[in-house]
């Protein structure tokens, strides 16, 4: 078992390797485009409900991988909220692998409970991070209503482009 000092060192190294460093979007080619949404679970803020990704099928869905304290993630979230009327037909799944408390605070700080089309959860197995081999956030994966991956963007996506891509998911 690690002592407290060793745990802090490991945590710092992890944060340096995985960080909030994506102010500008980059369209990624992952090799997963055209593939169906993988099945995985998220723990929701009530700490007892599980969200299954099977629930995302049937409607266009954007998976937004965020860091609770990432300023680029927060800025993208502000822009998404400001355009939620235009984005009401899109299901948003906001997920993080950082901490339950961080996820819950992000949801509360942004008043996300009031949006019926937004799910916020903790990826306790870090499945999403491993599946996409992520090294930072924000990260956005756009799935069409059939649950097939269409676009992947690393970094904060400008809202004009974001809205345009969601309109092409039907």
pLDDT tens-digit readout, 73-83: 999 999 999 99
With a cut of 90, say whether residue 7 has pLDDT above it.
Answer: no
- The pLDDT of 106-135, averaged and rounded, is 94
With a cut of 80, say whether residue 93 has pLDDT above it.
Answer: yes
Q: Which residues contact 105 (CB under 8 A, 6 or more apart)?
A: 68
- pLDDT band at 53; cut points 50, 70, 90: confident
Q: Which residues contact 169 (CB under 8 A, 6 or more apart)?
A: 60, 61, 90, 142, 143, 144, 145, 150
- The pLDDT of 134-144, averaged and rounded, is 91
Q: What is the pLDDT of residue 22?
A: 56
- pLDDT band at 94; cut points 50, 70, 90: very high
């Amino acid at each position: 078992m690690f002592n407290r000092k060793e745990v802090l060192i490991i945590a710092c190294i992890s944060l340096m390797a995985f960080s909030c460093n994506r102010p500008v979007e980059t369209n990624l080619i992952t090799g997963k485009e055209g593939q169906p949404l993988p099945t995985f679970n998220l723990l929701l803020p009530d700490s007892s409900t599980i969200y299954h990704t099977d629930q995302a099928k049937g409607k266009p869905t954007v998976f937004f991988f965020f860091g609770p304290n990432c300023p680029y993630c927060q800025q993208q979230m502000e822009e998404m909220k400001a355009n939620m009327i235009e984005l009401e037909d899109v299901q948003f799944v906001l997920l993080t692998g950082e901490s339950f408390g961080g996820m819950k605070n992000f949801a509360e700080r942004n008043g996300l409970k009031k949006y019926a089309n937004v799910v916020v959860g903790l990826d306790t197995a870090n499945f999403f991070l491993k599946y996409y081999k992520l090294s930072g956030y924000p990260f956005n994966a756009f799935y069409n209503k059939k649950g097939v991956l269409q676009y992947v963007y690393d970094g904060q996506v400008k809202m004009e482009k974001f809205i345009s891509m969601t309109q092409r998911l039907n």
